[in-house]
Amino acid sequence: NAGVTQTPKFQVLKTGQSMTLQCAQDMNHNSMYWYRQDPGMGLRLIYYSASEGTTDKGEVPNGYNVSRLNKREFSLRLESAAPSQTSVYFCASLYTAFDGELFFGEGSRLTVL
Partner 1 sequence: AQKITQTQPGMFVQEKEAVTLDCTYDTSDPSYGLFWYKQPSSGEMIFLIYQGSYDQQNATEGRYSLNFQKARKSANLVISASQLGDSAMYFCAMRDRGNDMRFGAGTRLTVKP
Binding site for partner 1 (CB under 8 A): 30-31, 33, 35, 41-45, 48, 50, 56, 58-59, 88, 90, 92, 94, 98-99, 101-102, 104, 106-107
Instruction: Tell me the closest approach of the beta carbon of residue 40 to partner 1, in angstroms.
Output: 8
Instruction: Tell me the closest approach of the beta carbon of residue 98 to partner 1, in angstroms.
Output: 6
Instruction: Tell me the closest approach of the beta carbon of residue 41 to partner 1, in angstroms.
Output: 6
Cα–Cα nearest to 44, from 26, 21, 68, 62? 62
Would you say 17 or 45 has its CB closer to partner 1? Answer: 45
Query: Which CA distances in Å does 50 have to 1, 61, 92, 110?
Result: 23, 16, 12, 25
Sign of CA dihedral 107, 24, 26, 71: positive
